[in-house]
Chain A
Amino acid sequence: MIKDQTNFFSGVLFLAVGLGVVVASLGYQIGTPARMGSGFFPLCLGIILLFLGAALAFQSCTAGAIRERLETWELKPLLIILGSVTLFGVLLLDFGLIVATIAMVVASSFASREGSWTTIFATSVFLALFCYLIFVVGLELQVPVLPSLS
């Protein structure tokens, strides 16, 4: 019986990563301790991770473990924030810094229920100009500023 879900799944995470690392490391050169290949050190780490994961998962099933349920996942803010950052990456080179920043700020504002459209829009325009001044004018960052017309 799993008593401590949080720790159990943490253990599973370690086991999964550890397994992946061990498999990948075996594909690299292992070598001998005196002439170590690129797989030697990662292999050791992978094995350590497997042990840690197994111990953690085992511990969470023992009688002494404190009962704890996994926290609920509210995926909306996560997906909106990471999505808007991805959007920035997609837009930056073709549409330039100004458009990418405005789009990112507007998209990310869906994650919060506060703030009117005017505030959001004003923030996005202000940030776009601010970033332009600091990064492009000030720090001379090489980045397209406006959409390239082609």
Chain B
Amino acid sequence: MDLFQNLLLGFATALSYENLAYCLLGCVLGTAIGVLPGLGPLATIALLLPFSFGLEPVTALIMLAGVYYGAQYGGSTTAILVALPGETSSVVTMIDGHQMAQNGRAGVALSTAALTSFFAGCVGTVFLATFARPLSSIALDFGPAELFALMLLGLVGASAMTSQSMLKSLGIMVIGILAGLAGTDITSGAQRFTFGFTELWDGVDLVALAIGIFAFTEIVTQLELHAHEAGLRGKITRLMPSREDFKRMMPSALRGTALGIAVGALPGAGPSIASFGSYTLEKRFSKYRYELGNGAIEGVAGPEAANNAAAQCAFVPTLTLGIPGSATMALLLGVLVINNIQPGPQVINSNPELFWGLIASMWIGNLMLLVLNLPLVGIWVKLLKVPYHVLYPSILAFSCIGIYSVNYSIFEVYVTVFFGLFGYLLRKLKFEPAPIILGFVLGPMMEQHFRTALLISRGDYGIFVKSNISITLLVLTIGLLLLMSMPAIRRRFSAVEAEEG
């Protein structure tokens, strides 16, 4: 099967009425939450997980992926119009984008953001389609020792990329793994960490954990801050960029896309890092670098292209290796696990319609977002007028029913309350809780691989350094740990606010 045939299969899957409808729903919801500050893609995907259980896995993934990249589009809209970045990754867009709006070029800034995002999204999708297969075939003959090493690298990589101290990041990830181990041990049948609750025999529910730690904690924090008013400035007049604008945005968009693809494919680095990196790149290489900061179109085009390309390419390690690069990706992997699809390199071969359908839907979704964002921008901005005291009870209501519906169990509601409390504690101790989800999803698989590897080697730990692949992976992991514990690099890095998604 060649690429063309695969894409044909993908489009056949993605273009079914049901999948198109859910793709649109995902994109609309994603844009909405991107516009609304204080409600990230992570919390939203957690909220939508229970809805997706009744769906085909490919439909569920298409919708949730739409939420994820839709949020990147929506986040930049508010950043430009009201200087309120809906997502961390659009903080950089705000600098020049909002300046452009104040200079009366709000429409041009918005369309630049949308067009470059679309461009980068398309390139990113093509990249994903081309390189996913070769990459996954390398990983296909990985044994348990290599898989363990790969997951270790993924986890350490993802926790290295947050702005908190390495120790905190690793610790919270370990707690995530432990939460993932709770319940019945599949190998021995013994109960672990169930504290006498029979309801915990099936383990902690991903939805309860994610909603508790992310959605509830976010609401409580917003209420503590008492700050959710936004004033709209700058009228949207002319939407289409001029010829001159196009000429100026193209080089930046290309640079941003290239950077976004490179960064996005790394485990742990996400759209935020890509957009910050792109701005730095523009400052150094753009012909108009002296105008940056005063409403230069390059400052919008570069970062927007970068964050969207990165959002798209974050699917590369997730889908090909089964190693999620961020907490959001871990939630998407959770969808596979819930549907009894073991994530990993074999997914492309065992579920081709799922893989290629998702890729095709991304391209369709990006097209939908272009339409959703440009002519309809006025509607999205109105969303900002929804007062928080109406918004948060709605989020709570959906969360409650959603959690209950997972297992038809009130107990899950109380588990969520527990994680809400825990999430608040983490927030007060200035943790960035994202690694907990990664640990939670990957932890049980890691234990399995660890066990199987040592079973094969009859207890000889040497199996982890037997093949070149696992040696390379372990050396990379150790190198990353050493690198990130060097204070100079740490400090540079924490200037870049880590991604919340």
- Which residues of A are in contact with B by a Cβ distance under 8 Å? 6-7, 9-11, 13-14, 17, 21, 24, 28-29, 32-39, 41-42, 45-46, 48-49, 52-53, 55-56, 59, 70-71, 73-74, 77-78, 81-82, 84-86, 88-89, 92-93, 97, 100-101, 104-105, 108-109, 111-115, 119-120, 123-124, 127-128, 131, 135, 139, 141-143
- Which residues of B are in contact with A by a Cβ distance under 8 Å? 51, 54, 165, 167-168, 170-171, 174-175, 177-178, 181, 185, 187-188, 190, 192-193, 216, 219-220, 223-224, 226, 387-390, 392-394, 396-401, 404-405, 408, 410, 413-414, 416-417, 420-421, 424-425, 428-431, 447, 450-451, 454-455, 457-461
Which of B174, B220, B224, B389 sits near A52, CB closer than 8 Å?
B174
B392, B393, B420, B455 pick with most chain A CB within 10 angstroms? B393
When the two chains form their complex, are residues B400 and A34 in contact, meaning their CB atoms are under 8 A apart?
no
- Which A-chain residue is minimally distant from B182 (CB atoms)? A42
Contacting residues, chain B, for A35 (C-beta < 8 A): 455, 459
When the two chains form their complex, are residues B429 and A6 in contact, meaning their CB atoms are under 8 A apart?
yes
When the two chains form their complex, are residues A71 and B428 in contact, meaning their CB atoms are under 8 A apart?
yes
When the two chains form their complex, are residues B414 and A52 in contact, meaning their CB atoms are under 8 A apart?
no
Q: Roughly how many angstroms separate A7 CA and B166 CA in the complex, as a whole number? A: 12
- Contacts A37-B188, A41-B451, A123-B394 given; does A81 touch B219 at CB 8 Å: yes
- Contacts A10-B171, A131-B401, A141-B401 given; does A86 touch B417 at CB 8 Å: yes
Contacting residues, chain B, for A86 (C-beta < 8 A): 413-414, 417
- Contacts A29-B188, A42-B192, A92-B404 given; does A111 touch B223 at CB 8 Å: yes
Chain B binding surface, main DSSP class: helix
User: Would you list 25 pairs from A and B whose C-beta atoms are within 8 A, ordered by A residue?
Assistant: A6-B430, A10-B171, A14-B171, A17-B175, A21-B193, A24-B192, A33-B459, A39-B192, A42-B178, A42-B181, A45-B177, A45-B178, A49-B178, A52-B170, A56-B165, A81-B420, A82-B420, A85-B396, A85-B420, A104-B396, A105-B397, A111-B392, A115-B390, A123-B390, A142-B408
A47 CB to closest chain B CB (Å) equals 10
Contacting residues, chain B, for A41 (C-beta < 8 A): 181, 447, 450-451
When the two chains form their complex, are residues A45 and B174 in contact, meaning their CB atoms are under 8 A apart?
yes
B389 CB to closest chain A CB (Å) equals 4
A70 CB to closest chain B CB (Å) equals 7
Which of A53, A71, A81 sits near B216, CB closer than 8 Å?
A81
Contacting residues, chain B, for A131 (C-beta < 8 A): 397-398, 401
- Contacts A105-B393, A115-B387 given; does A36 touch B171 at CB 8 Å: no
The 8 lowest CB-CB distance pairs between A and B, nearest first, are A34-B459, A115-B389, A33-B459, A89-B413, A77-B223, A38-B185, A38-B190, A105-B393
- Which A-chain residue is minimally distant from B439 (CB atoms)? A45
Contacting residues, chain B, for A53 (C-beta < 8 A): 171
- Which B-chain residue is minimally distant from A49 (CB atoms)? B174
When the two chains form their complex, are residues A48 and B174 in contact, meaning their CB atoms are under 8 A apart?
yes
- Which B-chain residue is minimally distant from A111 (CB atoms)? B223
When the two chains form their complex, are residues A81 and B220 in contact, meaning their CB atoms are under 8 A apart?
yes
When the two chains form their complex, are residues A9 and B429 in contact, meaning their CB atoms are under 8 A apart?
yes
When the two chains form their complex, are residues A127 and B394 in contact, meaning their CB atoms are under 8 A apart?
yes
When the two chains form their complex, are residues A89 and B414 in contact, meaning their CB atoms are under 8 A apart?
yes
Q: Could you list 18 further interchain pairs (A-B, Cβ under 8 angstroms) beyond the known A49-B175, A112-B389? A: A9-B429, A33-B454, A34-B457, A35-B459, A45-B181, A48-B174, A71-B428, A77-B224, A85-B399, A92-B404, A101-B400, A101-B401, A104-B393, A104-B397, A109-B393, A111-B220, A123-B390, A128-B397
A120 CB to closest chain B CB (Å) equals 8
B226, B399, B447, B455 pick with most chain A CB within 10 angstroms? B447
- Which B-chain residue is minimally distant from A21 (CB atoms)? B178
Q: Roughly how many angstroms separate A85 CA and B404 CA in the complex, as a whole number? A: 11
Q: Roughly how many angstroms separate A49 CA and B219 CA in the complex, as a whole number? A: 29
Q: Roughly how many angstroms separate A14 CA and B459 CA in the complex, as a whole number? A: 29
When the two chains form their complex, are residues A108 and B167 in contact, meaning their CB atoms are under 8 A apart?
no
Q: Roughly how many angstroms separate A108 CA and B397 CA in the complex, as a whole number? A: 10
When the two chains form their complex, are residues B192 and A85 in contact, meaning their CB atoms are under 8 A apart?
no
Contacting residues, chain B, for A48 (C-beta < 8 A): 170, 174
Contacting residues, chain A, for B188 (C-beta < 8 A): 29, 37-38
B497 CB to closest chain A CB (Å) equals 17
When the two chains form their complex, are residues B413 and A38 in contact, meaning their CB atoms are under 8 A apart?
no
Contacting residues, chain A, for B170 (C-beta < 8 A): 48, 52
When the two chains form their complex, are residues A55 and B167 in contact, meaning their CB atoms are under 8 A apart?
yes
Contacting residues, chain A, for B178 (C-beta < 8 A): 17, 21, 42, 45-46, 49
When the two chains form their complex, are residues A135 and B401 in contact, meaning their CB atoms are under 8 A apart?
yes
Contacting residues, chain A, for B400 (C-beta < 8 A): 85, 88-89, 100-101, 104
A106 CB to closest chain B CB (Å) equals 9
B185 CB to closest chain A CB (Å) equals 4
When the two chains form their complex, are residues A82 and B421 in contact, meaning their CB atoms are under 8 A apart?
yes
Q: Roughly how many angstroms separate A102 CA and B178 CA in the complex, as a whole number? A: 36
Q: Roughly how many angstroms separate A76 CA and B410 CA in the complex, as a whole number? A: 24
When the two chains form their complex, are residues B396 and A84 in contact, meaning their CB atoms are under 8 A apart?
yes
- Which A-chain residue is minimally distant from B411 (CB atoms)? A89
When the two chains form their complex, are residues B461 and A33 in contact, meaning their CB atoms are under 8 A apart?
yes
When the two chains form their complex, are residues B224 and A74 in contact, meaning their CB atoms are under 8 A apart?
yes
